[in-house]
Amino acid sequence: MKFGIFGGARQKRGLADTDSPTGYRDWIDYNIEAEALGFCSSFTTEHHFTGLGQVSASLNLMTYLAAKTTTLRLGTAVMTLPWHNPVLLAEQAATLDLVSEGRLDFGVGKEYRYNEFHGFGVDMVDADEIFEEALALILKSWQTEERWSHTGKHWQFNEIVVEPPTVQEPHPPIWLAAGRPDSIRAAARRGAHLLLDQYSPLHAVFERAEIFRDELRQIGVDPQDRQIALARGLFIAKDAAEKADVIARRTKARDLVDQLAETPDGDNAASIMQFKGPEEAVDGALIGTLDEIADRLEVIRQSGIEYVLLSNAGGGAAGLRQFSEAFI
């Protein structure tokens, strides 16, 4: 198996959330240590208007991280396309790919938190069609040498050529965050790799992975040619009491995020909202003793998922060191 890290930093406002317990400078140091320990990637989240201090300008932060590392793949998890001008985003992402010498993994998605859509004045109902138009424009920006124009429902561009070009050809790897069957199948058809969230229990994870592989087989693509990355919370506990305490804190922190995510009618249908409560941490996360974590990883490996992204559930760099000694 191979391992990366997942999440982001927070600038000390409010309580720590489920994947961002460290400040920005500490997060940079955490990533530098992860690279030295043999972790292959860092996927950074993007969120806005939380009051929790989560990373909002993830490409800026990752550009600084690129200057501090040499081998770590730099993933976005995810850039929420309905909130961004797609051509400006294509330019910014290409710049990161350039200065990192081709280390960008470009993860995109539609997001699920109502408060963010409301804050930007974007109707969640329109997220799908905005996403489709934006992704097509980003890919065109990266692959078109001559000037071009576009008049669409949401965007208009006149006689532009997008600079700089990306280092990776024809463009950086595309990762799609998806949980619903139709979104997973669309990711397979787009040529993307699949990002699976950190909250879903393993039975749902395995069902989603098999939907992805099935769609690849149906379109004539070897599933081995595409990657599936699974995010999981990590905390190595010394005993059952510490494990229970971490699970309680994680559940409380997630409750805060879910309050931001929920729609006014209380009916947010996003896949990531389906599984809540302490059962998520017990069944889904890598929280427990080393033996318990080893058993959970073996179950994941046997399912055919061999890429795991670890979010920091409170163990910090010490937890990464302990994990790397046992599993890398």
Q: What is the mean pLDDT of residues 303-314?
A: 96
Q: How far apart are the first and last CA of the chain?
A: 8
pLDDT for 32:
97
pLDDT for 280:
61
In whole angstroms, what is the distance from residue 161 CA to residue 214 CA?
38
In whole angstroms, what is the distance from residue 6 CA to residue 171 CA?
22
pLDDT for 143:
97
What pLDDT digit, counting tens, does each position of 216-239 carry? 999 999 999 999 999 999 999 999
* Higher-pLDDT residue of 113, 213: 213
What is the DSSP code string of 158-180?
EEE---SPPSSSSSSPEEEE--S
Q: Which residue has the tokens 């599936």?
A: 228
What pLDDT digit, counting tens, does each position of 174-206 carry? 999 999 999 999 999 999 999 999 988 899 999
Length of the chain: 328
What pLDDT digit, counting tens, does each position of 27-60 carry? 999 999 999 999 999 999 999 998 887 899 999 9
Mean pLDDT of the chain: 92
| 164 in Cβ contact with 100 (< 8 Å) | no
**Residue 10: which pLDDT band, with cuts at 50, 70 and 90?**
confident
pLDDT for 282:
67
pLDDT for 16:
52
- What is the value of pTM for the model shown? 0.93
pLDDT for 241:
94
pLDDT for 238:
94
What pLDDT digit, counting tens, does each position of 74-126 carry? 999 999 999 999 999 999 999 999 999 999 999 999 988 899 999 999 999 99
Domain ranges of the chain: 2-327
Q: Number of helices and strands (H, E) in the chain?
A: 11, 12
pLDDT for 269:
67
In whole angstroms, what is the distance from residue 26 CA to residue 32 CA?
10
pLDDT for 180:
93
In whole angstroms, what is the distance from residue 47 CA to residue 294 CA?
31
Using only C-alpha atoms, the chain has a radius of gyration, in whole angstroms, of: 19
What pLDDT digit, counting tens, does each position of 254-302 carry? 787 778 778 888 876 676 667 666 666 567 799 999 999 999 999 999 9
pLDDT for 92:
98
In whole angstroms, what is the distance from residue 224 CA to residue 228 CA?
10
Instruction: Report residue 296: phi and psi, to 5°.
Output: -65, -40
Angle between helices 316-327 and 290-302 (to 10 degrees): 60
Q: What is the mean pLDDT of residues 234-247?
A: 93
Query: Does the domain at residues 2-327 carry the CATH identifier 3.20.20.30?
Result: yes
pLDDT for 276:
63
pLDDT for 322:
98
Residue 113: count of CB within 10 angstroms of its CB: 25
In whole angstroms, what is the distance from residue 319 CA to residue 314 CA?
8
Helix, coil or strand: residue 238: coil
Residue 63 pLDDT > 90: yes
**The 3-state secondary structure of 281-321, one letter per residue:** HHHCCEEECHHHHHHHHHHHHHCCCCEEEEEECCCHHHHHH
